């Protein structure tokens, strides 16, 4: 898939990167990425994926823009209040990069519909804000053999990892699933929502940008991915920590029956 003269100029700073170059940019152009959520994480994620030249971006979100979103959901603006987020995000992508195809899915992902949607894409980036969606997405990615980049926000803290649970690691053992890291969701109401507890807007920007970095890395194939590693960010102390985790043979997706 060749690049047009306009694309060569647009992506010039990628093309001169040794680890990206023309072949890497062509991989980005061929890629189909599904973004779950066009909110705090999804907003910067979508912007940087579009700017990077992802060929097709799917956006799944059933919400509309509200005034309280604008403190962190930077892909939307004041005139967008009341509009579906998928429409507002599509317009923003069009202004940023006309070479990107956008597919909108104004739905909430559930265990019943996740697999059908996910199988139409090469890689999934989950920026959802609830555990029901996170588990539905991660399970579907395992079953459909799709890589998953997933992040979560707290008030001043956040986490990010990449899941390739359908593959094996260098040691021949299965890569960990999301359920190896978080075996089961917390009880309902145990963790306050963003509306209840608040969230630092700029932290969403940091983590959404890191999600975009990880998606681009997984597509192009440079550096070391976050498979089996959990990045933890503490915005109070500006501290970044990395924790390793592995396959749990007792997980319900790829575990060994006892």
Report the 3 state secondary structure along the chain: CCCCHHHHHHCHHHHCCCCCHHHHHHHHHHCEEEEECCCCCHHHHHHHHHHHCCCEEEEECCCECCHHHHHCCCCCCHHHCCCEHHHHHHHHHHHHCCCCEEEEECCCCCCCCHHHHHCCCCEEEECCCCHHHHHHHHHHHHHHCCCEEEEEECCCEEEEEEECCCCECCCCCECCCHHHHCCCCCCCCCCCCHHHHCCCHHHHHHHHHHHHHHHHHHHHCCCCCCECEEEEEECCCCEEEEEECCCCCCCCCCCCCC
CA distance 99 to 218: 21
pLDDT, residue 185, reads 82
CA distance 11 to 22: 9
CA dihedral 205, 206, 212, 214 (to 10 degrees): -160
What is the residue whose two structure tokens read 């104004």?
Answer: 106
CA distance 243 to 155: 20
CA distance 18 to 182: 37
pLDDT, residue 197, reads 82
- Would you write out the chain's pLDDT as a tens digit for each of its 258 residues? 789 999 999 999 999 999 999 999 999 999 999 999 999 999 999 999 999 999 999 999 999 999 999 999 999 999 999 999 999 999 999 999 999 999 999 999 999 999 999 999 999 999 998 999 999 999 999 999 999 999 999 999 999 999 999 999 998 999 999 999 998 887 777 677 777 788 999 999 999 999 999 999 999 999 999 999 999 999 999 999 999 999 999 999 998 865
pLDDT, residue 191, reads 75
Q: What is the mean pLDDT of the chain?
A: 95
pLDDT, residue 258, reads 54
* Cα separation values, 231 from 132, 157, 226, Å: 22, 11, 8
pLDDT, tens digit, for every residue of 138-166? 999 999 999 999 999 999 999 999 999 99
């Amino acid at each position: 898939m060749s690049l047009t003269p306009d694309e060569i100029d647009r992506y010039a700073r990628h093309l001169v990167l040794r680890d990206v170059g023309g072949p890497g940019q062509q991989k980005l152009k061929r890629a189909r990425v599904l973004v779950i959520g066009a909110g705090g994480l999804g907003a910067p994620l979508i912007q940087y994926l579009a700017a990077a030249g992802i060929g097709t971006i799917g956006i799944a979100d059933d919400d509309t823009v509200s005034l309280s979103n604008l403190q962190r959901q930077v892909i939307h603006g004041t005139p967008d209040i009341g509009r579906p987020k998928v429409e507002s995000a599509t317009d923003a992508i069009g202004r940023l990069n006309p070479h990107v195809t956008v597919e909108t899915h104004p739905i909430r992902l559930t265990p019943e519909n996740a697999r059908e949607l996910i199988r139409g894409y090469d890689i999934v980036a989950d920026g959802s804000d609830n555990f029901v969606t996170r588990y539905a997405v991660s399970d579907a990615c395992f079953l459909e053999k799709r890589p998953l980049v997933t992040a979560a926000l707290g008030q001043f803290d956040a986490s990010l990892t990449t899941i390739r649970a359908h593959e094996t690691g260098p040691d021949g053992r299965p890569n960990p699933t999301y359920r190896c890291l978080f075996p089961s969701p917390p009880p309902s109401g145990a963790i306050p929502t963003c509306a209840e507890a608040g969230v630092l807007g700029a932290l969403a920007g940091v983590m959404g940008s890191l999600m975009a970095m990880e998606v681009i890395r997984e597509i192009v194939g440079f550096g070391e991915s976050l498979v089996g590693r959990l990045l933890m960010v503490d915005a109070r102390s500006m501290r970044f920590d990395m924790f390793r985790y592995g396959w749990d043979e007792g997980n319900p997706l790829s575990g060994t029956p006892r």
